[in-house]
Homo-oligomer: A and B are copies of this chain.
Amino acid sequence: MASTKSNISGRRVTRRRASININDLAERAGVAPATVSRALNGYTDIAEATRERILGLAAELNYQPSSRARQLARGRVETVAFVLPRNSRNTHDPFLSDFLDALASALSSRDHDLLVATVREDEDEIQVYRRLIAAGKCAGFIITNSRDNDPRISVLRDLNMPFVVYGRASSNVPYPHLDMDNEAAIAGMVDHLFALGHKRFAYVDLEEEATFARLRRIGFELGVRRNALLDENVAIVRVPHTSAGGQSAIATLFDGGNSHRPTAVVCPADVVAIGAIQAVSARGYAVGRDVSITGYDGVPLGAYTAPPLTTMSQPTREIGQQLVDILFRVMEGADPAQFDAVMMPTLVRRASDGSPTLVEAARALP
């Protein structure tokens, strides 16, 4: 069928037309291609009987209009792009699968596709965005890991390309975004630990450009202030966003003759907290009794550390869905400035926090 070019010589027979097209279908139905198009696209100026005949035939032959041709003709692009964050390399983001699934699913119910791109070693991040746009590969972007003064935001705005950001980026011009309330969440964690009786706090700051790192630290400082903690009872160390970072934070805080060891260590990420738990345990302290350690994110494995990690958990899937919702509003022409929702993560209390035992007892340890 179709146009398989048979070739007696036995050389590679190629160019078989992949599938049926609108002309084939029209011919089979005994109508013009235009009529098929009308039938498939819900126009009203077509006899109901004709429409049903065509629809039936299309279903029978498993006809789907070529999305490329359709989008070209319509002058629309029904694809949204997500560029994997550069630092996602080797970062093993456990939420990405859920997040992408949510994005793809939300897009699919609007008949859009999800294009996932990456920044190759030999490229510049911004170049990737420009290339995707110039080639007309997408009609909008989902952006995560926003940094302060994120260049992507200004470029996309200049190019008049719809986008939505997960996170904030401290720009003076408003842009559509959705964020967790990092600040309130960490401050709330300090409140929680303070209420348990802790007086000596440490915070593990992140060596990371992303805005959320800054906001979480600010949240910690806010918590310090509103619980009137004494300066000499508050320490901040700054480490990479990894479990090894968590370990080295503990080394800084606990080793050496530091007489003011914290009883509560607030971490801005679960992976960091997990390293911290490991390091504190290795020093002979009981996490959750001698020392409380908290995380942020809600990674699944946090439930299986020893002790299980108390953390702030984010609703990944819902975030993905909402981002798509917002992006569509923007693509439909809504005022981008109105989208600035902030969601609150939920405290998942497991066993890495608790009332502090006597500091003296902790000090007496080897």
Which residues of the partner chain B approach A18 to less than 8 Å between Cβ atoms?
Answer: 136
Contact assessment for A113 and B137 in the assembled complex, using a CB-CB cutoff below 8 Å = yes
Verify if A41 is at the interface (C-beta below 8 Å from B): no
Verify if A284 is at the interface (C-beta below 8 Å from B): no
Contact assessment for B93 and A19 in the assembled complex, using a CB-CB cutoff below 8 Å = no
* Contact A66-B97, Cβ < 8 Å, known A114-B117, A115-B115, A243-B303: no
Contact assessment for A116 and B136 in the assembled complex, using a CB-CB cutoff below 8 Å = no
Which residues of the partner chain B approach A243 to less than 8 Å between Cβ atoms?
Answer: 300-301, 303-304
Contact assessment for A116 and B116 in the assembled complex, using a CB-CB cutoff below 8 Å = yes
Contact assessment for A113 and B115 in the assembled complex, using a CB-CB cutoff below 8 Å = yes
| Identical chains in the assembly | 2
A71 to B70, CA, bound (A): 12
A94 to B301, CA, bound (A): 10
Contact assessment for B98 and A95 in the assembled complex, using a CB-CB cutoff below 8 Å = no
Partner of A64, one of B114, B135, B303: B135
> Which residues of chain A in 201-248 are interfacial with respect to chain B, using CB atoms and an 8 Å cutoff?
243
Which residues of the partner chain B approach A68 to less than 8 Å between Cβ atoms?
Answer: 68, 71-72, 77, 136
What is the CB-to-nearest-CB distance from A81 to chain B, in angstroms, rounded to a whole number?
9
A234 to B201, CA, bound (A): 49
Which residue in chain B gives the minimum CB-CB distance to A134? B64
Residue with the highest number of chain B CB atoms closer than 10 Å, among A16, A77, A116 = A116
> Which residues of chain A in 261-306 are interfacial with respect to chain B, using CB atoms and an 8 Å cutoff?
271, 274-275, 277-278, 281, 299-301, 303-306
Which residues of the partner chain B approach A322 to less than 8 Å between Cβ atoms?
Answer: none
Contact assessment for A120 and B134 in the assembled complex, using a CB-CB cutoff below 8 Å = no
Which residues of the partner chain B approach A88 to less than 8 Å between Cβ atoms?
Answer: 97-98, 101
Verify if A109 is at the interface (C-beta below 8 Å from B): yes
Fill in one digit per residue for A84-120: 1 if any B CB lies within 8 Å of its CB, else 0: 1000111111111110110011001100011111101
> Which residues of chain A in 58-82 are interfacial with respect to chain B, using CB atoms and an 8 Å cutoff?
62-69, 71-72, 75, 77
Which residue in chain B gives the minimum CB-CB distance to A88? B97
What is the CB-to-nearest-CB distance from A140 to chain B, in angstroms, rounded to a whole number?
12
Contact assessment for A278 and B300 in the assembled complex, using a CB-CB cutoff below 8 Å = no
Contact assessment for B66 and A72 in the assembled complex, using a CB-CB cutoff below 8 Å = yes
Contact assessment for B108 and A98 in the assembled complex, using a CB-CB cutoff below 8 Å = no
Contact assessment for B134 and A92 in the assembled complex, using a CB-CB cutoff below 8 Å = no
Contact assessment for A89 and B98 in the assembled complex, using a CB-CB cutoff below 8 Å = yes
Contact assessment for A120 and B109 in the assembled complex, using a CB-CB cutoff below 8 Å = yes
Contact assessment for B304 and A275 in the assembled complex, using a CB-CB cutoff below 8 Å = yes
A34 to B117, CA, bound (A): 30
Which residues of the partner chain B approach A281 to less than 8 Å between Cβ atoms?
Answer: 306
What is the CB-to-nearest-CB distance from A20 to chain B, in angstroms, rounded to a whole number?
9
Contact assessment for B84 and A299 in the assembled complex, using a CB-CB cutoff below 8 Å = no
Contact assessment for A136 and B67 in the assembled complex, using a CB-CB cutoff below 8 Å = yes
A71 to B68, CA, bound (A): 8
Which residues of the partner chain B approach A303 to less than 8 Å between Cβ atoms?
Answer: 243
Which residue in chain B gives the minimum CB-CB distance to A287? B306
Which residues of the partner chain B approach A130 to less than 8 Å between Cβ atoms?
Answer: 62
A71 to B77, CA, bound (A): 14
Which residues of the partner chain B approach A333 to less than 8 Å between Cβ atoms?
Answer: 12, 14
Extra A-B contacts (10), CB below 8 Å, given A15-B75, A271-B301: A64-B131, A65-B135, A89-B101, A93-B97, A105-B118, A108-B117, A109-B120, A114-B117, A115-B116, A305-B305
Q: Please, could you name 18 A-B residue pairs with CB atoms under 8 Å apart, sorted by A?
A: A14-B333, A63-B134, A64-B131, A64-B134, A64-B135, A66-B136, A68-B136, A72-B72, A84-B97, A84-B100, A92-B97, A93-B97, A96-B100, A104-B116, A105-B121, A243-B300, A275-B304, A305-B306
